[in-house]
Amino acid sequence: MSMAEEDTLISVDYEIFGKVQGVFFRKYTQAEGKRLGLVGWVQNTDQGTVQGQLQGPISKVRHMQEWLEKKGSPKSHIERANFNNEKAILKLDYLDFQIVK
């Protein structure tokens, strides 16, 4: 990837399946997103999954996608991660990374 490509802003939706509720998954996701300088949101669903949206430079979003797929919070057990609606964006839609109740 060239430097210009790495700086391209993208938006991607995610849903994480497994033991991801009641294990501080949202809190750790918010912290990791902020650490990487990403914006977006995270919330629990009624189906027992965690979903949200990531926005930021493509290289940072890729780091976060890997974190969501492989790491998560210490007590979580991730079965799989789905990523959808990936698109390049001209500007960020959010100011920070929020936990949505």
| Six token digits for residue 56 | 């930021």
Q: How confident is the model over 60-95, as pLDDT tens digits?
A: 999 999 999 999 999 999 999 999 999 999 999 999
Question: Would you give the DSSP letter of residue 71?
Answer: T
Instruction: Write down the pLDDT at residue 36.
Output: 98
Tally of CB atoms within 10 A around 29: 28
Question: Would you give the DSSP letter of residue 46?
Answer: T
Instruction: Write down the pLDDT at residue 7.
Output: 83
Q: pLDDT-derived band of residue 5, with 50, 70 and 90 as boundaries? A: confident
Q: How confident is the model over 6-47, as pLDDT tens digits?
A: 789 999 999 999 999 999 999 999 999 999 999 999 999 999
Distance of CA 29 to the CA centre of its chain: 7
Active site residue ranges: 26, 44
- pTM of structure: 0.94
